[in-house]
Amino acid sequence: MSTSTATPQQSDAKRSPDATAHLIAGAIAGLVSAVTLQPFDLLKTRLQQQQVTSKHEVRTSVVKELRKLTEMRDLWRGTLPSTLRTSIGAGLYFTILSKMRTDWAEHKRKKDLSLNLKSGSSVLPKLTPMENLTTGFIARAIVGYITMPITIIKTRYESNLYHYNSMYEGILGIYMGDNKGAATATATATTTPLAGSIKNFFKGSVATLARDCPYAGLYVLTYELFKNDLMPVLIPPGLGDNRSSVINSAAAVMAASTCTTLTAPFDAIKTRLQLTNETSMVKAMKTLIHEDGGVRNLFRGLLLRLGRKGISAGISWCIYEELLKSQFVQSKFIKKKEAPLD
């Protein structure tokens, strides 16, 4: 009678989190980071919208925007659409990304059983840099388009150009193509038949995807490089069980900082498209460059976005990876596969 023996790669394949685990872990990670870091998003949006209303407006700053707030809770304006977008988006993104990475890793194992695709600090498989870039890019493109309507609601809530009092007013205002605020949209809707367009919920989608897809692809690539190659060398082994969390968090912060800087212009263009009547990325970019500040306008809010993205990535990926390794997930959402007999 033959005995069951498995290579490390086969043993690794026995226990892998299913889609539900990735969805729940990603949603929780996104929810925590969205609520915690909403003030960064709000201030970034207001810095980027400063010249929408008047070309002669005095240039604003973080300090000036903080002084305009009447209550501390105003920093969390837009938290509801932000948490909806981030938790749903993160859950879907991590689920699709992990599915693509796992399926590709299993495909590679079938071709070569000697491949070692196990990461030292993660339950996710190791892939080549190009495979990491491709899977991150595609996963973000899918999720970015699905969550685009929530992204636009979030951006307008954070801006002080609109004074929506509820999600309904925001949805109605966007649908009606209103660029002045909730009151105009509501008045228009009550006096004339609804003649809006669903397309308004996807305004700026090209600029958003041009920002998010390269960001996500580059992020997965740099995160995996930092996590598997650089951080294990820099971070001493004396940290015990906490070492993997430190490695994952440090790698996430470094990857986010790198990719955020590279994709900053697309973020400024995206915000301008979603707050004004600009109809194309090229026109929005030209407008930004010709305003006071020139090319620097393409990097408005970069420091806030760096802080937000860096901390968010550290929180999200650490929570996500640690939840996947937790006893609860291991017992509830791990799918087991029989090891092949020799």
In order, the DSSP letters of 114-163 are T---B-SS-SSBP--HHHHHHHHHHHHHHHHHHTHHHHHHHHHHHSTT--
12 assigned to some structural domain: no
* The dihedral sign for the CA sequence 130, 133, 135, 138: negative
Lowest mean pLDDT segment, chosen from 167-171, 209-213, 274-278: 274-278
253 assigned to some structural domain: yes
Report phi then psi at 160, rounded to 5. -95, 15
Entry pTM: 0.68
176 assigned to some structural domain: no
310 assigned to some structural domain: no
Write the single-letter amino acid at 281.
Answer: M
Note the pLDDT of residue 142. 93
134 assigned to some structural domain: no
How many other β-carbons are positioned within 10 Å of the β-carbon of residue 190?
Answer: 7
30 assigned to some structural domain: no
Lowest mean pLDDT segment, chosen from 16-25, 97-106, 164-173, 176-185: 176-185
Note the pLDDT of residue 315. 83
pLDDT category of residue 7 using cuts at 50, 70 and 90? very low
Between 110 and 329, the higher pLDDT residue: 110
Q: Give the pLDDT confidence of 137-179 residue by residue, as tens digits.
A: 999 999 999 999 988 888 887 877 777 777 888 888 888 876 5
Containing domain of residue 228, as a range?
203-299
Q: With pLDDT > 70 as the criterion, what percentage of the chain qualifies? A: 79
Note the pLDDT of residue 52. 55
Q: Which residues pair with 109 in a beta bridge?
A: none
Report phi then psi at 158, rounded to 5. -70, -30
Closest CA to 155 of 82, 241, 251: 82
For the cut 60, the answer to whether the pLDDT of residue 187 exceeds it is no
> With contact defined as beta carbons under 8 Å apart, do 329 and 260 qualify?
no
Note the pLDDT of residue 212. 86
Note the pLDDT of residue 141. 92
Between 330 and 31, the higher pLDDT residue: 31
Specify the 3-state DSSP secondary structure of 70: coil
Lowest mean pLDDT segment, chosen from 189-203, 241-255, 257-271, 298-312: 189-203
User: What are the angstrom distances between the C-alpha of 110 and each of 13, 104, 114?
Assistant: 11, 10, 10
Most confident of 20-34, 111-125, 230-244, 251-265: 251-265
61 assigned to some structural domain: no
246 assigned to some structural domain: yes
Q: CA–CA separation, 118 vs 123, rounded Å? A: 7
Lowest mean pLDDT segment, chosen from 10-14, 257-261, 315-319: 10-14
Total count of domains within the chain: 1
